[in-house]
A = this chain, B = another copy of it.
Amino acid sequence: MNSVSDTGAPTALRLYERDDCPFCWKVRLALAALKLPYESIQVELGEKHPDVIALSPEGRSSVPVLVDGDQAIWESTVILEYLADRYDTANQLLPKEPELRAKARLLVTFSDQIIGPGLRRVIFEKRSKPQDEWDMSEIEQGMQMWQNRMAELETWLAGEAFFVGGRFSVVECALLPRFALAYLYGAGVSQNTPALYRWFQHLKNSSDFLSVAPATVPQYGGYHIPQWGQQRQSHRLTQSDC
């Protein structure tokens, strides 16, 4: 395959992404966990990048899009599956056992399809308007949806340090950005869900997380993330100028 050198390391992974997009962040966490270098091409919120349009089905211009040689992949979960299939020889991101793989995929779906929509009600409201125009009812409903999910995740975590297989997996790749964004937009994790609380306290200070966290959340008044985002160049190549 053209994109892989003789040593098996990829020579040209390219990620079209937005810094504070949770689906992009999810892919960055997977790339960091596998220690795969890549070229990051930043796409602004609302921007229709010509490369992204050319690489995606008609009418779609969203990120992330990963390019590996001739292969373009335009959906975050499919990107993670590809990285696991192609580069994860140690089954770091996805365990081997079918039952655990199903659990991991259900949790990724839970994060993307169930946690995400509730959280977006808070984020879209806060980042799109000045504070005195926020629809507090919309924000409160989103916050309530967030809180309702915590007990379910606590059950799923079952007192462990990680959700599946005793290690950082695709589940953490999907969930961590949601928790980080929730935290930045005012929705925390309380000690009423103690395992989940410990899980986030531990992982939000991990080196892989810090290496790929956005430096700021620009649409929310340039909110600066203390500590997060300072080490982020460690897994990245120079940004392309295209």
Task: Mark each residue of chain A from 44 to 75: 1 if its CB lies under 8 Å from any CB of chain B, else 0.
Answer: 00000000000001111000000000010111
* Chain A residues within 8 Å of chain B by Cβ, number: 28
- The reply to whether the CB of A135 lies closer than 8 angstroms to some CB of chain B is no
- The reply to whether the CB of A202 lies closer than 8 angstroms to some CB of chain B is no
Q: Which residues does chain B contribute within 8 Å of A57, judged by CB atoms?
A: 110, 114, 152
Q: Which residues does chain B contribute within 8 Å of A149, judged by CB atoms?
A: 58
Min CB distance, A59 to chain B, in Å? 8
Interface SS, A side: helix
- The reply to whether the CB of A99 lies closer than 8 angstroms to some CB of chain B is yes
B73 contacts A98, CB within 8 Å?
no
A1-25 at interface with B (beta carbon < 8 Å): 1
Starting from the known contacts A58-B152, A77-B109, 6 additional A-B residue pairs (CB-CB under 8 Å) come to A60-B114, A73-B106, A75-B106, A78-B105, A82-B98, A82-B105
- Number of copies of this kind of chain in the complex: 2
**Given A57-B152, A58-B152, A102 contacting B78 (CB threshold 8 A):** yes
- The reply to whether the CB of A190 lies closer than 8 angstroms to some CB of chain B is no
A85 contacts B98, CB within 8 Å?
yes
A99 contacts B114, CB within 8 Å?
no
A165-180 at interface with B (beta carbon < 8 Å): none
- A residues near B (Cβ < 8 Å) are 1, 57-60, 71, 73-75, 77-78, 81-82, 85-86, 98-99, 101-102, 105-106, 109-110, 113-114, 148-149, 152
A99 contacts B1, CB within 8 Å?
yes
Q: Which residues does chain B contribute within 8 Å of A109, judged by CB atoms?
A: 75, 77-78
Q: Which residues does chain B contribute within 8 Å of A85, judged by CB atoms?
A: 98, 101-102
B102 contacts A73, CB within 8 Å?
yes
B106 contacts A78, CB within 8 Å?
yes
Query: Which one, B60, B82, B101, B113, contacts A81 given CB within 8 A?
Result: B101
Roughly how many angstroms separate A105 CA and B72 CA in the complex, as a whole number?
A: 12
